[in-house]
Amino acid sequence: MLKRLCYILPLSLLLLSCEPDTECRTANNIGVQIVFAIDSLQGDTLPVRVSQIDSISVRGIGNDSLLYDNQKRLSSIFLPLRTDNNLTAYAIQAYDATDTLYIYHDNNVNFISLACGCFVFHTITNVDATHRLIDSLTILNATIENYKQDNLRLYLSTYRL
């Protein structure tokens, strides 16, 4: 009986001491949220959010990943940023035009715990693009952490819509 107690007591203490880390359960998909917009047709500078873009495809450059494949009715896209480089590039295709989007960012490694490891948060420093489909870009929120928020506003060329 004492021998069994010697095995059960340390095992039960070990199991009781291992609680799941609540921060491990937070979203770990950290990336940039891009909303599509056009300039208001009344001549002012107020952006109008585009409610639906038809047939958009997004492919990573340098990693050859297809994130969106001919997706319909999108008003925004969510794109991960590279953790091993300060430049992330994507080819965005819609309306028979293809543009390259360049996102320059700082990578900030944040240690969470031994069980969870690290999260890499990002800070956008600059954005650029070719201008076939994309008219211009605006940084809305430069800090990218583990919650979704609108980070970039991508203005579309109105003659392509």
Please state the pTM of the whole predicted model: 0.77
pLDDT above 80 for 161? no
Distances (CA, A) of 159 to 57, 95, 112, 135: 19, 10, 47, 10
Q: Are 93 and 101 in contact (CB under 8 A)?
A: no
Q: What is the pLDDT of residues 2-43, one digit of tens each?
A: 666 565 656 665 555 445 555 565 555 678 999 988 876 655
What's CA 152's distance to the chain center, in Å? 10
pLDDT digits (tens, 9 = 90+) for 148-158: 889 999 988 87
pLDDT in tens, 98-156: 999 999 999 998 887 777 777 888 999 999 999 998 989 999 999 998 778 899 999 88
